[in-house]
Structures are given as C-alpha cells and as structure tokens.
Amino acid sequence: MKKSLLFAISICSLCLLNGCGGGSSSPSAPHVTAVTITPQFLSLTVNDQEQLKVSEVLSDGSTQPPRSPTWSSSNPQVASVNGQGMVSGVARGSAEISCSDAGITGSIPIIVEPLFTTDAYQSGTFLYLENTLGTDVVRLGMDLSLGGAVSEFSLNGSDVIGKASYGSHLIALGLYDGNGVYDQCNGCTFHYGWNPVESGDYYRHGSPILMQDITGNTIYIKSQALQWIPDDKGGGPAQAVPSDIVIEKWLSPVPNHPYVFQERYKITHTGNDRHAGQNSSVPSYEISANLFNQYSFYTGASPGTLAPIRTIQTAQMPQWPVNGSVQWLSEDWGAMTNQQGFGFGAYNPQAFPYAVAYQATTDPTDMVVGFTFLTPFSFFPGSSVQFDTFLMLGDTQTVRLVTYDIRRVLGPFADIDPPVGDLNDTPAEGSTVSGIVAVEGWAFDNVSQNVSVTLFVDQVQVATGLANITRPDIAVAYPGAPENPAFHFDLDTTKFSNGARMIEVQTKDDAGNIGLLRHRVLTFKN
C-alpha cells in the first residue's frame, strides 16, 4: 500500500548508564538519543535560502528543542549554514548539514543546483520547454503531429527517448476498459477493445490537437485521443477513429530542479457510456536501450527512508509485448539508467504504486526499454480525473531524493485513484444460473484501508458490503496489497424475472473515488 513519504535521517548514540552506591540506584534523567533536522532532505539553487528546524529525541521518547545547537556544513563552498540553521546555496554540488547538541549529531543531505532560465517556444510541429544552466541545456519536446506526446527529453542534445526506423518513441497515456477484449500482441489481430491513446493510433495517425498555448513558462496542449486499433471501429489504415477521451496537459519547470519537468494531466470522458477499471498506462515511458540497460526502483514497506533499491538488468526483462510480473514501486518512481546509475527517472505520486517493465531489443532498428505506471481508472458519463507526473534526468540517488523534495514542497497530492479489483471467473460470462449465486471478487486501494463494494443487477443496487475477506494470493500478484481484499455476495436470482441480467460491482474508497469492476452477463433461469 502507498505509505506517507517521510524521510528521516539521524545519527544516534548509545549511552551506557551505570548505577552506583549501596546496592541501589536512582533513576537517571532522560538524556538525548537523537537529533532530528527538518526537512530531512533539502534542494536549493544558488543564492536560495531555507530555514531548518531541529529537535531532540530523549531516552523516554519525548522531544525538546536543543539547548545549545551547533550547526555546520560538510562543504561550506557548496552550502553554508549560520548559527540559527539558515542554509544558503553557494555553488553547485552536494553537502551535509549537521546539528550537534549534548554530544549527539544529526545531519541531512543537501543538493545545490545552479541558477537556470526556462524558455518555452514552438519550432515547426514541436513545442519545447528548455532549461539552460551554465553549459547544460535540458529540453523537453512535445510533438503536435502526435497529439502533443513527449517525444524528446534531452541533455545537451542527447535524447533519452527511444528512436526507431519509423520515428520517435514517446511518453504518453494509454487507457483501457475492464470490459474490453484485448489480444496479447498489442492489436495485431485488429480486434481490440476500447483503447484511447494520447499520441495516436496503430497506423501512426496523430491524435488531433484541439488547442495549444504558451503562457510564460507553461505549455498547454489539448488533444482528442485516438483509438489504438481503428479497424474494428469503423476506420482502418487510411481512417483514424477518435475516442471519447479528451486529454489536457500543462508542462512546466519545477523550482530548484533544472533537470525536472512537471506534466499535469486532465482526462475527460465525453461519452455517455461507462468504462470499467483496468490497469491503464498513466503514462508509459519508452526509453532508449542504446543508452540505458537497467531499471531501478524502491520496493518495500519503508518508503522515504533511503532503504536499498532494487535494480533489474535489461536481460532480465521480458520482451515486448510481454510485460511480465507487476513491480511494487512503493516510492512512486522508477528509473532507466546505465551501469553508472545515470539516466531517466519518472515520478508519479498519484498513480497506483505498481508498474511493469519490458524490453524491445530484438530489432536493432528499434532498441527500447520501458516501464508503465498502472492505474485502474474507471470512466462514467462526463467524468474527469486530474493528476501530476514528473520527468527527470540524473543519477538514481538524486532522482530518488528529488522525489522526496517534490512531495515535501508541492504535496500533499490528492488521492484520485479508485480501488483496483476484479470479479472471480465463476459464474462465467454467459452462463445460466438459478437460485442463490455467489458473486465474489477482490478490491483494494492504494491509500484507504477500507474499501466498500456495492452489487448491482441491471444497474439497480441490490447489496453492499466491504472487501475484508482473507485472500493472500492477491498480495502475490500485487506485492504490498492487504491480506484481506476479497468480498462475497449471495445473490438470490429468484427475486428477478428470468432472462439475461448484467451483474456489476462498484468499489469506493475513503476519499470517495468510485471504481467499476468488469461486468458479467448471466441468464437467470428459475
């Protein structure tokens, strides 16, 4: 489950207390065991300042302000600190800021970035955001011929996004319907369910731009997502098929982080139908395998603590379109890097904390590694959802620390995800049932501890309950999931007239996000 990202670094000392005199000892006064500095990671640009706070943890568990704090910097040429804990960025680099009292020291890491300027402009079919700092130029390019999807993210001209003989790969959204039918080859059978794609379709028709604007350092793009496979929806190689999804996004620089850009998405469903929750790609990152050959992320129950990360080599990844097992990105970031740990990172604090990684390296003209955040959006008539994502360049440790800083400065981020879940395979779609029928499945949320479930027959509510029954196999498929995500309803079919009936279960979390599980059409016969 998604945890709060509170990053705590402190240096503690063990104090041995010896009792003395007459075979009895008097209790000792509480003593300082740790010095804690807040915030617990800091990122500044040159000439910026930030006030740190400090507290002491005592042996009895209580806290107090330090009596005589002494502040210091491990590298004053990079970051200085005065006697009151005010930190100033001096020059590009990294340092540790420490505070000592009563013989105990606490410290935090700090990164100082150079001052940078941002330009937003259009050149041909591209809109660009460009950060300039010293001799470095960091550029993000959105291709208007492909729905405004990101097709360039470069440092001094070296683009991290994969290229192919047919053109650039992309960073873009792809949505799915839990009630859709999808082949295992990304549409090669040309019979494919509802699948609006931000960039365009299988035949590389670009999603049409509805509006574009540059205001200051912010780029705005509004596009009409196309159905990935048009052939079974009235189109084909010469005719694209618009979907019922409109995508808006705002792209902007991030203060104090010259190698980071923010993408704010808003997805609006314009149709009158409903699309059940499915693990949509929000978004998918297609990165150059010629530059990067490993995938790094943190997975575990201690986010925000700098616990060891996990790294998967390209050779261990499945070949696209196979995605392999789901990874639990419990700090909401992933990175594709080289063996020195430098490369591309993505942070999505509002997605479900799950991703899949893959490689497409058998064709030398199309060398790509990638990963996709999976989030179970459901869409109802007129519904919309808005969320933030962040694209960054740097070494793995810096990418990780930057995500901590973004959450501290720009968060908290709203909970926008409905629970993920599914119905069990029985009773099967199209089967005939009678009497009492068990309707079972599972659902869990990335934030809420409680998930309510409501059973509908032909969109009429018939029962409510909670997803609170033990089912450990779900945590095998989704590491970090609770042990009790299952639910059970006894549906009395005799209370309905005979005939075909649609069975649905809606889920709801504590924030009010509603999900729709895939439906089941059954024939009641009593």
When mean pLDDT is compared across 231-245, 319-333, 402-416, the lowest value belongs to 319-333
Residue (of 68, 521, 504) closest to 274 by Cα position: 504
CB 253 within 8 A of CB 393: no
Strands in 317-378 per DSSP E: 327-328, 333-337, 342-347, 354-360, 368-375
Q: Mean pLDDT throughout 188-217?
A: 96
Q: pLDDT tens digit string along 477-500?
A: 999 999 999 999 999 999 999 999
Rounded Cα–Cα distance for residues 108 and 98 (Å): 7
Q: Mean pLDDT throughout 214-241?
A: 97
Strands in 270-319 per DSSP E: 280-288, 294-297, 310-313
Note if the bond before 76 is cis, omega within 30 degrees.
no
The CATH number given to 117-410 is 2.70.98.10
Rounded Cα–Cα distance for residues 158 and 180 (Å): 39
Q: Which helix (H) or strand (E) holds 123?
A: strand 117-123
Q: Write down the domain spans for the chain.
A: 32-113, 117-410, 420-524
When mean pLDDT is compared across 40-49, 119-128, 222-231, 246-255, the lowest value belongs to 40-49
Decide which of 3.30.390.30, 2.60.40.650, 3.40.1110.10, 3.40.50.2300 is the CATH code for 420-524.
2.60.40.650
CB 447 within 8 A of CB 1: yes
pLDDT band at residue 168, thresholds of 50, 70 and 90? confident
- The tokens describing 145, both together, are 């011929």
Q: What is the pLDDT of residue 27?
A: 61
pLDDT band at residue 19, thresholds of 50, 70 and 90? very low
Residue 30 reports pLDDT greater than 70: yes
Mean pLDDT over each residue of the chain, to the nearest integer = 92
DSSP state letters, 22-51:
TT--PPPPP-EEEEEEESSSEEEETT-EEE
Residue 10 reports pLDDT greater than 80: no
Residue (of 443, 447, 465) closest to 518 by Cα position: 443
Looking at the DSSP bridge assignments, the partners of residue 172 are 284
Asked if the domains 32-113 and 420-524 are classified in one and the same CATH topology, the answer is yes
Q: Mean pLDDT throughout 447-451?
A: 94
- pTM of the predicted model as reported, rounded to 2 decimal places: 0.89
Residue 285 reports pLDDT greater than 80: yes
Q: What percentage of residues in the chain have a pLDDT greater than 70?
A: 95
Residue 384 reports pLDDT greater than 70: yes
CB 197 within 8 A of CB 205: no
Only one residue has tokens 């065991």, namely 33
Rounded Cα–Cα distance for residues 385 and 377 (Å): 9
pLDDT band at residue 2, thresholds of 50, 70 and 90? very low
Note if the bond before 427 is cis, omega within 30 degrees.
yes
SS3 185: coil
Rounded Cα–Cα distance for residues 281 and 175 (Å): 6
Q: Mean pLDDT throughout 410-433?
A: 95
Largest Cα span, the chain: 98
Residues in the chain: 526
Topology, domain 32-113: Immunoglobulin-like (2.60.40)
Residue 138 reports pLDDT greater than 80: yes
